Amino acid sequence: MSTSLENTGPTDHSPETDEPGEAVEHDEATEAEAAEESAFMADPRPGGVLSTETFGLVALFLLAITMFSGQLIGLLTTVSSIGDQPVTVAQVAQLNTQITVGGTLAAASALTAALALVLSGTGTRDWARWTASAVLITGLLLVVVAVLTYLQVPAGVAQQPPMMPTG
C-alpha cells in the first residue's frame, strides 16, 4: 500500500462498449475536458529569488518605506501652505532634495510592482498579483504627488542680511 498522493492507477473509467466509434468519441471528449481543466488548474510556479511573489513583496516594502516616512504628503502640505511667502534658496534646495528622494522611492516601488506583474503567469499565486497591482497603483499616485509638489515649490530668494540697529 502506497502512502503517496499520486494516483498511479488507470484514469480511464469509461464503460466499455461494443462499438469502437462510440468509445473513440468519448475518449476525445474526455481528453479535451482534461486539457481545459489542466489549463485552469495549473500548479503554482516554483518560487524563488526572481519570482513574482518576491518582486511583489519587495515592492510592498519599498512602498511601506515611502508611506511611513510621510515625507511626500507632509511636503505637499508644506509647499501648499507656503504660498507666495519668500523662501530662502537653501530651504528650496532642501525641499527639492526631499521631494526627489520620496518620488524616487515611490517610482522604485511602482517599477518593482510592474516587474512583478510582467513576470506573473498562469501559475502565479493570486495574492502576489493583487499585491503588485495595489502597489503599482499606489506608487504611481505617489509619483504624481511628488511631481505636483515639485512643481509647486516657490523660487528661492537670497537671504537678506539682518538689519543692524543704528544708535
112 vs 11 pLDDT, higher one: 112
153 vs 39 pLDDT, higher one: 153
Confidence check: pLDDT of 141 > 90: yes
For residues 110 and 60, give the distance between their C-alpha atoms in angstroms, rounded to a whole number.
9
DSSP states of the chain as a string? ----S---S----PPP-S-HHHHHHHHHHHHHHHHHHHHHSPPPPP--TTSHHHHHHHHHHHHHHHHHH-HHHHHHHHHHHHTT--EEHHHHHHHHHHHHHHHHHHHHHHHHHHHHHHH--TTS-HHHHHHHHHHHHHHHHHHHHHHHHHHHPPPEEPPPPPPPPP-
Here the cell at position 22 is 462510440
What does pTM read for this prediction? 0.64
106 vs 70 pLDDT, higher one: 106
Give just the sign of the alpha carbon dihedral 76, 81, 84, 90. Answer: negative
What's the pLDDT score for residue 147? 94
What's the pLDDT score for residue 8? 60
Beta bridge partners of 156: 87
16 vs 101 pLDDT, higher one: 101
Q: What residues does each domain of the chain span?
A: 52-152
